[in-house]
Amino acid sequence: MGHVVEVLLSDFGVGDCCLVEANTDSYTYTLGYLLSWLQLLAFFGASPAEARSEYASYLQEEGLLSSLLEHLFCLMPSNVSLGSKGNTMFTEPVKLSPQEVFSSTKLQHVACQVYLDTICKLPALVRAWWNSQNKRVMDHVEKFTSNHVTSVISSREIQAVRNADVSLENMTVKGRPAAREVVATYTIEEVAIELVVKLPANHPLGAVTIDGGRRVGVSQSQWRHWLLQLTTFLTHQNGSILDGLALWKRNVDKRFEGVEECMICFYVLHGATCQLPKLSCRTCKKRFHSDCLFKWFNTSNNSSCPLCRNVF
């Protein structure tokens, strides 16, 4: 079917709208081609992360995704409106049943749904394809996506964060739809580490912006590494924002995992400096916050370990 569609659209370029008439062989082949992609994308979305990576590589290496995107931008209409209520071919799911009337508009609606599914499940591949195009194509794709798709995708991402049923112990995630932001707050004891993911106006074509917020208990180089890792994941991997935040949380968990509390204040992070216990007693091996230990020495008028009482 892909070859037939390729021949059918050979005289059209990205941005040229090809209206396929109903009740023709061209319509049958094109509809079958689009429905096959809907099934493939559904299968892709239900697959494990490791398998999705392999499938995505295959689609890219074989040029299947680039062909699909070129076809879609010949089949999708410039006017995606459905009626007078503000609904569009991207906000309303397409109805497919034997009782439906299959018109040229219906085919355009299916093409829009395929693009929506593709850009939701394969954002990194779509972004790579977009970046490889000439300026005319890039401008057309960006304008079309920003006007009709970005708001839908951003809302879905933020809603997915809100509805997340995964375990996010010690971390809360909130969405700010109006600002296209997702805020993740990692809390340990009474200290919170905040991270803000900002979606661009042409999401997901453009790169997300990561605002590191307040850094506590980690070095600046480690913090930069985490932010770079999250940015890289959200830019180059076909994962959701929630997947990226889960990756960031695992890094933070490992940073604080197994760190014993200070034996003076009984907190992992110091309440004022937000530092981890670093000074260790040579005898009992227990660690203390430097500020806590300094205060202990001053108030006790000696330099013994607060726990084992040996000289520190």
pLDDT single digits (tens) 266-304: 777 675 666 778 888 988 888 898 888 888 888 888 888
Q: What is the pLDDT of residue 217?
A: 67
Question: Given a cut of 70, is residue 166 above it in pLDDT?
Answer: no
* Range 145-172 average pLDDT: 81
Question: Given a cut of 60, is residue 247 above it in pLDDT?
Answer: yes
pLDDT single digits (tens) 196-232: 889 999 999 998 888 877 666 667 777 787 788 788 7
Q: For domain 171-256, give the fold.
A: Ubiquitin Conjugating Enzyme (3.10.110)
Higher pLDDT, 55 or 252: 55
Tell me the whole-structure pTM to 2 decimals. 0.77
Q: What is the pLDDT of residue 76?
A: 95
Q: Decide if 260 contacts 277 (C-beta within 8 A).
A: yes
Residues in the chain: 312
Secondary structure of residue 114 in the 3-state scheme: helix
Question: Given a cut of 60, is residue 167 above it in pLDDT?
Answer: no
Q: Is 266 left (phi over 0), alpha (psi -120 to 50) or beta?
A: left
Q: Which of 18-32, 53-67, 107-121, 255-269 has the lowest mean pLDDT?
A: 255-269
Secondary structure of residue 227 in the 3-state scheme: helix
The CATH classification number of 258-311 equals 3.30.40.10
Every domain of the chain and the residues it spans: 1-132, 171-256, 258-311
Higher pLDDT, 164 or 225: 225
Question: Given a cut of 90, is residue 147 above it in pLDDT?
Answer: yes
Higher pLDDT, 84 or 308: 308
pLDDT single digits (tens) 28-80: 999 999 999 999 999 998 988 778 888 998 999 999 999 999 999 999 999 99
Nearest to 147 by CA among 110, 112, 182: 112
H helices of 179-289, where? Answer: 220-236, 241-256
The CA distances from residue 231 to 92, 132, 235, 238, 291, in Å, are: 31, 20, 6, 13, 35
Cα–Cα distance for residue pair 210/195, rounded to 1 Å: 7
Question: Given a cut of 80, is residue 239 above it in pLDDT?
Answer: no
